[in-house]
Amino acid sequence: MASNERPEHRLLIVDDETEVATMLARYFGGQGFEVVTAADGEQMRRRLTEARIDLVMLDLGLPGEDGFSITRYLRETWKGPVVIVTGRGDSVDRIVGLELGADDYVTKPFDLRELLARVRSVLRRTRQSATAASETPCVSTDYAFGGFTLDTRSRTLCSPDGSPVELTTGEFTLLCILAENAHRVLSRDQLMTRLYGRDAGPFDRAIDVQVGRLRRKIEPDPSRPALIKSVRGAGYVFTPSVTRP
């Protein structure tokens, strides 16, 4: 990349395997990204304070602090997207990672081109959400449903009692999609395409995990959802009346 070209995005790769981190840094650097690396959670925290980071690529098998704990920390203290890249291919680990708020989960060994496509897809969704928020006219275009108010300008959700509801990037995007398509059944493939840029595989539960996390934040009784209902064999439907005050 020429010295006068601005990097497309700045990535933080958190992986204690030097060869893997070097390979990823070299590949993504050649694709127009600026890349910084960290070998553990402590270094990661330091990197996040040193410069703006657009996306964290996180391995789970780190020394000392477990990658799941780091994912939880990132979701509680940092607003950017997280892509888990790990050798843990067990479905339980995948579900836990997504439950904790990761925006995508990629298992090793991986195809570099597929990983690049997934990273760009996550960054594109984040950028589109931010652009939509910044370009929203000054007149109110909030979504209101069931006492909640979803503000696309500030990317905030207010509960019926007026208190804020913290949403990850994926949860915010999913709720916007559902609000825009209220009373319309959306299949898992449709939601996967909108959220992750790919179809759902036969054993892919990423959408179910995201819906479950969102339900726990907006449903009065998540075990008996009234706002986001499952449609057997079809997908999900957002049931409340949605207005744009």
User: Phi/psi at 84 (nearest 5 deg)?
Assistant: -80, 125
Q: Which two tokens stand for residue 171?
A: 């949860």
Q: Give the pLDDT confidence of 70-95 residue by residue, as tens digits.
A: 998 898 888 889 999 998 888 888 88
Q: Whole-angstrom distance between the N-terminal and C-terminal Cα of the chain? A: 47
Question: What fold is seen in the domain 136-238?
Answer: Arc Repressor Mutant, subunit A (1.10.10)
- Closest by CA to 126, choosing from 221, 28, 53, is 53
Exposure class string for 160-174: b at 16+ Cβ within 10 A, else e:
eeeeeeebbbbbbbb
Domain boundaries, the chain: 10-129, 136-238
Which residues, at least 6 apart from 137, have a Cβ–Cβ distance to it below 8 Å? Answer: none
CB atoms within 10 A of CB 203: 7
- Taking the whole predicted model, whether its pTM rises above 0.75 is answered as no
CATH number of 10-129: 3.40.50.2300
- Tens digits of residue pLDDT in 137-148: 333 458 899 999
Element (H, E) at 121: helix 112-135
